[in-house]
Amino acid sequence: MKKSILITGGAGFIGSHVVRLFVNKYPDYRIINLDCLTYAGNLENLSDLEGKGNYHFSKVDILDEVALKKVFNDYQVTDVIHLAAESHVDRSITDPLAFVKTNVLGTVNLLNAAREYWQVPEGHLFYQISTDEVYGSLDDGGYFVESTPYDPKSPYSASKASSDHFVRAYANTYGLRTLISNCSNNYGPNQFPEKLIPLCIHNIKNNKPLPVYGKGENVRDWLFVEDHAVAIDLVFHKGQINQTYNIGGFNEWQNIAIVKLLCKLLDQKLGRKPGSSEELITFVKDRAGHDLRYAIDAEKINKELGWKPSVTFEQGIDKTIDWYLENEAWLENVTSGDYQKYYQKHYG
């Protein structure tokens, strides 16, 4: 094998798309999917890869130092793509310590394991996948660029900002070869239905209320997850070492506009009276510290690596809705907790 790449959080939403892309595109790479299978990690996301000779799964928590070192030794890991993280802002507000443990301590454990195993940094890469939320809120217009100062506003973004700082510190102190990319909001197939788009699809289909924070005026830039996976592939193979790349979808939408678009499209697809699903919209008390706007300037990755989104938001959202409507069993399994049964059946 030319490379032995450890992809952490590979059973999660973004991670599963990255694992699938690398396994199928690079048959001469060994891909190790490392995931502790919390509520958001689901091996059903990768059932199509079972039996592939270059794909391996390891159920390990990145907080387990001993288990991490064993994985590096057993699989002779040459590179790391680090996606494992607690990622839901609401959960970080109610349980910030869980985010500190996984996102900060877990990342440092992984950095230590890599540094110890690799000994000499040359020929190895530690690639940290981060978020645009580390930059704070754009209340006065403009865009996040790679040099925008960090100004995290939630426990989640603070934990990701801290882990980014540790990655840069290890590059500076120990000579580790690193990359960081900061992405905007992802959407697409396999996303756990606590996030806005899959939650709305699920609730519209089942005639349940559509909770919208405040007046729904918060703005986010949306990135189709398959486009993000392609960008990660490009950054991993062609990015300049110890650099940062912003990855955005060039799709700014207010939350309320997205919810109304989902209502419109699902009314059409489900054969409902136009406008009927909008009656499900329920405005709720705004989230504490809710950032007004995120927007990424992805000019650097476009100019240096030639990356740009392959679909418009309207195209991507249409594909996403169709996937959820066609995969009702998957959605039922994750909402009921039955997704853990797949692990027990195939690995237990």
- Residues with catalytic function: 132-133, 156
- Cβ-contact 279, 254 below 8 angstroms: no
* Lookup: tokens for 182: 């900061």
Render 110-171 in DSSP notation, one character per residue: HHHHHHHHHSS-TT-EEEEEEEGGGG---TTS--B-TTPPP---SHHHHHHHHHHHHHHHHH
3-class SS of residue 333: helix
CB under 8 Å to 177, separation ≥6 — which residues? 121, 122, 124, 125, 126, 171, 241, 242
CA proximity to 131, closest of 247, 249, 302, 293: 247
Mention every residue, 6+ apart, whose C-beta is less than 8 A from residue 242: 168, 171, 177, 178, 179
Other C-beta atoms closer than 10 Å to the C-beta of 219 total 16
Separation of alpha carbons 262 and 318, rounded Å: 9
Q: What are the residue ranges of helices labelled H in the chain?
A: 13-25, 65-75, 89-94, 96-99, 106-118, 155-174, 196-205, 225-238, 255-269, 299-305, 313-326, 328-336, 340-346
The DSSP code for 63 is: T
Kindly report the CA angle at 20 between 17 and 23, in degrees rounded to 5?
145
